């Protein structure tokens, strides 16, 4: 497990003074991830909240080399940088051990950048891809993505007389990535910092691609008080809404199990995006969401036993 005293010695690689919202989960996730290695790091970020708020010309909050990418191609760009590094190292022009990390929101990872990510994983580049997952296209107005959960109200899947919000379950991207047979993939939550940093250490240490899917809340899109980010993140874990898992060389395991999973309504009722579900007539949707979570945990239990 990560040692907090040792972590405190690592210089900040994402500084304060950026323009992300107070209470933004993305900046917390990035700082935790970048504690996963003491080696020099080259970072890339897809267009999104993280990029636009940390690199407003002529300023930058990054204390590492940083590449801004289009929405869809951060995995391809960081692949090219990693390939150039290997070529220069082979020629003896670089001797340092340099790590490469790509950051993308769920829109740029689950949807628009999935092709780029899949290609980079299949080719086997030595890099870490981090999805800072806030479950919608928050930067452009809270539109639904395939990471948006069932029942959530967004600007493109609004709740109203004709709809209870998004009708589909979120895509299981972690399992899709694991199916690429990469050395390491994991899910984390910013509320469990030691778990995230430990997984980041593992991700940076492997040879080949690694993937981290980090629940990184957005209080504006999720509609809760900005000071409650960590509290709501923890409820996501304790209710089983966001399982903390890792897949290491094909072996699935839980890195944390709640002693007794709380009802998912404890998580849902903290957020305005689910407020409509607690009105008369929508109890069946709440029951469906709970059943979906229970079924997914049974699925994970089978994977853990099978591997």
Beta-carbon count within 10 A of 256 CB: 14
Pairing of strands 184-189, 128-133: unpaired
| pLDDT tens profile 101-157 | 999 999 999 999 999 999 999 999 999 999 999 999 999 999 999 999 999 999 999
Res 217: pLDDT? 98
CATH of domain 4-306: 3.40.50.970
Residue pLDDT, tens place only, 230-266: 999 999 999 999 999 999 999 999 999 999 999 999 9
Burial class (CB in 10 A: 0-12, 13-18, 19+), 80: middle
**Model pTM above 0.85:** yes
For residue 140, whether the previous peptide bond is cis, meaning omega lies within 30 degrees of 0, is: no
Domain extent listing, the chain? 4-306
244-248 and 184-189 strand pairing: antiparallel
Tell me the average pLDDT across 202-212.
98
């Amino acid at each position: 497990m990560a040692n907090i005293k040792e972590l405190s010695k690592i210089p900040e690689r994402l500084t304060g003074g950026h323009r992300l919202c107070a209470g933004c989960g993305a900046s917390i996730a990035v700082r935790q991830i970048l504690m996963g290695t003491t080696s020099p790091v080259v970072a890339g970020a897809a267009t999104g909240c993280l990029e636009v708020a940390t690199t407003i010309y002529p300023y930058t909050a990054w204390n590492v080399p940083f590449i801004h990418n289009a929405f869809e191609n951060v995995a391809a760009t960081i692949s090219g940088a990693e390939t150039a590094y290997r070529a220069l190292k082979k020629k003896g022009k670089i001797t340092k051990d340099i790590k490469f990390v790509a950051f993308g929101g769920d829109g740029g990872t689950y949807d628009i950048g999935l092709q780029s990510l899949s290609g980079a994983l299949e080719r086997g580049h030595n890099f870490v891809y981090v999805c800072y997952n806030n479950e919608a296209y928050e930067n452009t107005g809270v539109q639904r993505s395939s990471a948006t959960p069932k029942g959530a109200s967004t600007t493109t899947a609004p709740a109203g007389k004709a709809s209870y919000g998004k009708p589909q379950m979120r895509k299981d991207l972690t399992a899709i990535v694991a199916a690429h047979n990469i050395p390491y993939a994991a899910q984390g939550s910013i509320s469990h910092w030691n778990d995230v940093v430990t997984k980041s250490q593992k991700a940076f240490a492997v040879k080949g691609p690694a993937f981290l899917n980090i629940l990184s809340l957005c209080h504006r899109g999720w509609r809760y008080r900005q000071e409650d980010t960590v509290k709501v993140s923890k409820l996501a874990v304790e209710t089983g809404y966001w399982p903390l898992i890792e897949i290491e060389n094909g072996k699935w395991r839980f890195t944390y199990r709640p002693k007794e999973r709380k009802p998912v309504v404890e998580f849902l009722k903290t957020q305005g995006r689910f407020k409509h579900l607690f009105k008369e007539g929508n109890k069946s949707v709440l029951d469906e969401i709970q059943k979906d979570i229970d079924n997914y945990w049974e699925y994970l239990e089978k994977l853990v036993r099978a591997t």
